[in-house]
Amino acid sequence: MSEYDFIIVGAGSAGCVLANRLSEDGRYSVLLLEAGGSDLNFWIWMPIGYGKTFYRKSVNWMYHTEPEPNLDGRISYWPRGKVMGGSSSINAMVYIRGQQEDFEDWKAMGNPGWGWDDVLPFFRKSETNDRGATEVRGGEGPVHVATMDRYLHPMCEDFLRAGEELQFARNPDFNGPSQEGVGTYQNTAKDGMRMSAARAYVRPARKRPNLRVVTRAMTTKILFDGSRATGVRYVRKGAEHDVRARREVILSAGAINSPQLLQLSGVGPGALLRSHGIEVVRAAEGVGRNLQDHLAIDYLFRSKVPTLNQQLRPWHGKLRHGLHYVLTRRGILSLGVNQAGGFVRSRPGLSKPNMQLFFSPVSYTKAVPGKRALMSPDPFPGFLMGAQPTRPTSRGHLEIRSPDPMAPPAIHPNYLGTDLDVQEMLEASQIMRRLAETPALSRLIEAELLPGPQVQSDDEMIADIRARAGTVFHPVSTCRMGPDPVRDVVDARLRVYGIDGLRVADASIFPTVTSGNTNAPAIMVGEKASQMILDDHRPGGSNKGPARSADGQCVPETPVSASFQTA
């Protein structure tokens, strides 16, 4: 049976970081298992290509929630990356860390070492910003963060002026000293191509002799010896493989797959596991609970002036911009969809912004909900504005449907489960109406197409929210970090309560959802987790003693031969 010092399950935003950092100095052997395949795909590397991967089974888990009562019984589609890089390979590439107060709240919830001053060094360590390093921005990290202003549509400037007319300040950097204000988004990109976690962290490390990467390897079970995790079982090409971890198993499979794998392996709500005939290794009620996600509402407008629709709808526009991108890796196809936006307060008396705004100078009236294929916009000039409350108070859950590891879990988001969330979604709609009424934007708008001028009263706007609002794909907190072994899943060092040799390091450990897009903080978790693990396994660390094999014999830290097993 193969043995490694560390086994990492999931090559997503955090797992790729862990594979790089834990293998960096050559002392430890590392196995990285990924259920999906290679990320060498044109539509993954081309920034705007995520419209093509949105419904592509070859790179996407394509989850669906249960019918949501608070959204008129609608089922929500949740794409998640099933490919090297995880969701960082199929997302919209917006780089947002969150507010400093988010992490201060994490610390105040009983998680020492997770305040803003604690996590900032790991954000900086991960990043190379194209504007250069500052006290809060990194300049030498693996993840390249690109400023896209020179390619943005001119309507972005009209949106920013509209924000100023509502007394929202301009902010040149949402990841700078303050997040508040309106501005333009930065993307995880380099040389006009997506900077996924796989590109940033695994590609530079793949030739290391102590790192083995196995793709198309579906992990089906964590192996235990009593209350200690000793390895994992995975299926590849129809064959089962058991591999042993001399030191630790680390779950980085994401906010859906990490709790799912824990439950399948006997760590989760006791009654749920017994109902599926699964032996309970540890009854842990918090596994799969505390699910949070961002819910957003879009408003669609017909424009009096040309938008990206006119550049990309005609066949000759597709050809011209496609050739320009292929030849130069520049231009509008090197951008994400959300070009401008902001973080603002929707009502007086708030201590920090509670609303994220999005502006896209393109529209897709007939697109499948959530799918924004930039190359197939509306035939008329149009644009979109969107808004989402940054800190929803509703909590959902997910749970396995059966002991079959191939069966998707049942996901219950519980959107709009509190009165505050309903009120803030109403305020999100009202902000977009206020923006549309400013001189800067009203002169450009021919008509509001969705929801339309017939929707006016608060009750009508709330009904529209229930009929149209959708996820922006930020599920977190299903293996929540916290001080309570009964309600929480991992401690502040990301160790699973009641289990030795097992950690979780991905967005599932967030105590609360951060204010904005979640990819950057997930990468930060990978960086911080890597450092904690290395510290704990140094002499005198919290994991004392030599590594031991399954029969209890001491094992030297001997690297294994390098391997990158695909297909």
Instruction: Please state the pTM of the whole predicted model.
Output: 0.94
**Beta-carbon neighbour count of residue 281 at 10 Å?**
21
- Cα–Cα dist 413/446, whole Å: 36
Per the listing, tokens 């680390």 go with: 250
Cβ–Cβ under 8 Å, residues 71 and 415: yes
Per the listing, tokens 């393109």 go with: 362
Phi-psi label, residue 100: left if phi above 0, alpha if psi -120 to 50, beta otherwise: alpha
Catalytic residue among 294, 321, 474, 537: 474
**Beta-carbon neighbour count of residue 208 at 10 Å?**
17
Residues of the chain predicted below pLDDT 50? 370-371, 544-561, 567
For residue 343, what are its two tokens? 């973080």
Tens-digit pLDDT profile for residues 271-327: 999 999 999 999 999 999 999 999 999 999 999 999 888 777 655 655 676 666 665
Q: Which pLDDT value is given to residue 178? A: 96
Q: Which pLDDT value is given to residue 309? A: 80
Kind of pairing, strands 211-214 and 30-33? parallel
3-class secondary structure per residue, 480-537: CECCCCCCCCECCCCEECCCECEEECCHHHCCCCCCCCCHHHHHHHHHHHHHHHHHHC
Residues in the chain: 567
Cβ–Cβ under 8 Å, residues 519 and 87: yes
- Cα–Cα dist 470/74, whole Å: 10
Q: Which pLDDT value is given to residue 482? A: 98
- Cα–Cα dist 63/78, whole Å: 5
Q: Which pLDDT value is given to residue 399? A: 98
Cβ–Cβ under 8 Å, residues 427 and 300: no
For residue 4, what are its two tokens? 């490694």
Q: Which pLDDT value is given to residue 54? A: 84
- Cα–Cα dist 131/257, whole Å: 36
Encoded amino acid at 529, one letter: A
Tell me how far CA of residue 558 lies from CA of 28, 210, 211, 418, in angstroms: 7, 8, 12, 53
Spacing of C-alpha 212 from chain mean position:
25
| 324 has catalytic annotation | no
Cβ–Cβ under 8 Å, residues 560 and 4: yes
- Cα–Cα dist 220/263, whole Å: 11
Cβ–Cβ under 8 Å, residues 85 and 39: yes
- Cα–Cα dist 505/22, whole Å: 13
Tens-digit pLDDT profile for residues 473-531: 999 999 999 999 999 999 999 999 999 999 999 999 999 999 999 999 999 999 999 99
Encoded amino acid at 60, one letter: N
For residue 403, what are its two tokens? 């002991």
> Rounded to a whole number, what is the distance in angstroms from the first to the last CA of the chain?
22
**Beta-carbon neighbour count of residue 38 at 10 Å?**
18
- Cα–Cα dist 400/422, whole Å: 29
For residue 318, what are its two tokens? 């597709």
What values do phi and psi take at 359, rounded to 5? Answer: -130, 125
Instruction: Map residue 98 onto helix, strand or coil.
Output: coil
Q: Which pLDDT value is given to residue 316? A: 60
Domains and CATH numbers, the chain: 1-141+193-292+394-413+475-567 (3.50.50.60), 149-184+295-389+416-468 (3.30.410.40)
